[in-house]
A and B are shown apart, each in its own frame.
Chain A
């Protein structure tokens, strides 16, 4: 499993979070989407833009990751490395799901104001930008061996959760 920093954590700092956010906002506008989400492959939501108030974002992130995992399993059964794009067409809304550097999942929800062609085009460009930011996240993680808040945790902190 690839992860920035050590093998069991992914640390996202304010700077890269804001950069992810601005790429998502641009994608939202350029693709005429309703909402866009960036999720890690384990199902945690990293960032989102658009009309997110209408969505249960936590569930969406988990199911998108489950969907990508299941599709990846199907891909390997037929000898493919991964299916990097999924498209679900609904009566009103559609969902475009794609992988970024095989590590992040970009979800775009759009309706009749946009089109699959436009979304694919814009997603490709946004994916390149997101990949660059992800590299910066890795580089930051390599520079900072300590994870800050985690190293400072004490047993008393952990116990305090259960009082």
Chain B
């Protein structure tokens, strides 16, 4: 649920990075954090285990400039990807305005991608969203590894809505900002249309 503050002239929206464990959700946020001008982003918070796996969420607030005198701010969250953290994932989806589904391009991870995508749809429905209408982009991450699934395979597996899709190598930043811009555009267009 976006928050429009006429007093501080700000538009705030929430974007969630979703996907299976170790697909690179946190890596996306870490790259954004490193590369953005410190004046345009806040601190990155990671609630992680001792082995650096996301336990609850990562959080990074970013500012993207002004539209018609209103500052636009986006709160980026990741969910914990591991299957047994489902209760936490549901909580983080509350009030979401747009979702980046981060898929792992390794052939061996196709089942995990599909399982996580189905889980996203179930959890969105539980939070009162229509999974076929919420702003969504797909990121096919880890395009630099061996034994890759092709983009057309990933498309056939996940992109039945035909939403924007981006190839990425989040560890080196390839496709990271393209993905972010893609979801921000969809969120703002959806906000203008007045909801789902």
Interface positions of A (Cβ within 8 A of B): 1, 3, 6-14, 17-18, 40-44, 46, 56, 58-59, 62-63, 66, 69-70, 72-73, 147-153, 155, 157-158, 160-162
What are 8 A-B contacts with C-beta separation under 8 Å? A12-B5, A12-B6, A43-B14, A56-B42, A149-B11, A150-B11, A151-B192, A158-B189
Q: Are B14 and A158 in contact (CB under 8 A)?
A: no
Residue numbers in B under 8 Å from A149 (CB-CB): 4, 11, 67-70
Q: Which residue of A lies closest to B68 (CB)?
A: A149
Q: Which residue of B lies closest to A157 (CB)?
A: B67
Q: B151: CB under 8 A from chain A?
A: no
Residue numbers in B under 8 Å from A41 (CB-CB): 94-95
The total of Cβ contacts below 8 Å across the A-B interface reads 137
CB A134 to nearest CB in B, in angstroms, measures 13
Q: B152: CB under 8 A from chain A?
A: no
In angstroms, Cα B1 to Cα A12, docked, is: 13
Q: Are B2 and A10 in contact (CB under 8 A)?
A: yes
Residue numbers in A under 8 Å from B42 (CB-CB): 56, 58-59
Contacts A10-B1, A42-B1, A153-B68 given; does A58 touch B181 at CB 8 Å? no
Q: Are B59 and A158 in contact (CB under 8 A)?
A: no
Q: Are A44 and B68 in contact (CB under 8 A)?
A: no
CB A147 to nearest CB in B, in angstroms, measures 7
The B interface, classified by DSSP as helix, strand, loop or mixed, is mixed
A-contacting residues, B75-108, CB 8 Å:
75, 87-88, 90-92, 94-95, 97
Count of interface residues, chain B, beta-carbon cutoff 8 Å: 48
Q: Are A1 and B95 in contact (CB under 8 A)?
A: yes
A-contacting residues, B173-189, CB 8 Å:
181, 184-185, 188-189
Q: Are B181 and A160 in contact (CB under 8 A)?
A: no
Q: Could you give, for residues 1-37 of chain B, a 1 whenever the CB lies within 8 Å of some chain A CB and a 0 otherwise?
A: 1111111100110100000000000000000000000
Residue numbers in B under 8 Å from A1 (CB-CB): 1, 94-95, 127-128
In angstroms, Cα B16 to Cα A66, docked, is: 14
- Which of B3, B6, B94, B190 is within 8 Å of A44, CB to CB? B3
A-contacting residues, B37-65, CB 8 Å:
42-43, 45, 47, 56-57, 59, 61, 64-65
CB A45 to nearest CB in B, in angstroms, measures 9
Q: Are A150 and B192 in contact (CB under 8 A)?
A: yes
Residue numbers in A under 8 Å from B59 (CB-CB): 43, 59, 62-63, 66
In angstroms, Cα B48 to Cα A122, docked, is: 35
Given A8-B1, A62-B45, A151-B194, 8 more pairs with CB closer than 8 A? A8-B196, A10-B2, A14-B6, A46-B3, A58-B43, A62-B61, A62-B75, A153-B68
Q: Could you give, for residues 97-139 of chain B, a 1 whenever the CB lies within 8 Å of some chain A CB and a 0 otherwise?
A: 1000000000000000000000000000001100000000000
